[in-house]
Amino acid sequence: MPIVYRYGLLLLFAFFFVLMGNITLQYLPVRTDAAFLQIKQEYIHITPWLVAFFVHVFTSMFVLAAGFTQFSKALLHRYRTIHRAVGKCYVVAVLFVTGPASFIMALLANGGIPSRIAFTSLSVLWMYTTAKAWRTAVAKQFDAHRDWMYRSYALTLSAITLRGWKWLLITLFHLRPLDTYMIVAWMGFVPNLVVAEWLIRKRYAAIGEPRPSR
């Protein structure tokens, strides 16, 4: 990738990372009447859901940053120990912290059954692809590991793309909030996976190698 594109991608990520940080800061100090929680007042008395919400909110910044570093060739080749350590932290966070938290939240998602199916699917796929990324790394199947990390991080980025689609739909079509949420519940991650698969196929086509077994 040309250096201009690399720096452009880095700046774009930094921009959205700051936006996500501002969203997170709305909940500090911890309170149950801020931002998104204003429309979830009927659920804040459910302790598992409320704990899952704050766990998900406060770990999202870490998994976004940790996952992003895993695609740095400089980090991989020059500081492999750091690459592995951050990767392990990313896997643990997704599989045992924020992934399960997102699953609990999905059960009571806005938008009714369609949204709940979407977010439940997202959380399950997120944990599955991350587990596969970990297993292929342990097995030293590094091409397959890279592919699964593409998929895992594509789902991690749904935290950003969901909000982007939401803003776009409301701005252009003035949909009702619940209608918008039912749409972005799927749009937040399905296109991400499509792009990830396209990038994976493009890479193997460019180097003229068959895709590794999964």
- Given pLDDT bands bounded at 50, 70 and 90, which one contains residue 11? confident
Q: 68-112 pLDDT, tens per residue?
A: 888 888 888 888 899 899 999 999 999 999 999 999 999 988 888
- Domains: count for the chain: 1
Question: 74 in a domain, yes or no?
Answer: yes
Question: 105 in a domain, yes or no?
Answer: yes
The pTM for the full model equals: 0.88
Question: 191 in a domain, yes or no?
Answer: yes
Question: 148 in a domain, yes or no?
Answer: yes
Structural domain boundaries enclosing 56: 3-207
Question: 125 in a domain, yes or no?
Answer: yes
- Given pLDDT bands bounded at 50, 70 and 90, which one contains residue 4? low
Stretch 31-54: mean pLDDT? 82
Question: 214 in a domain, yes or no?
Answer: no
- Given pLDDT bands bounded at 50, 70 and 90, which one contains residue 212? low
Question: 111 in a domain, yes or no?
Answer: yes
Q: 102-133 pLDDT, tens per residue?
A: 999 999 888 889 999 999 999 999 999 999 99
Residue-level length of the chain: 214
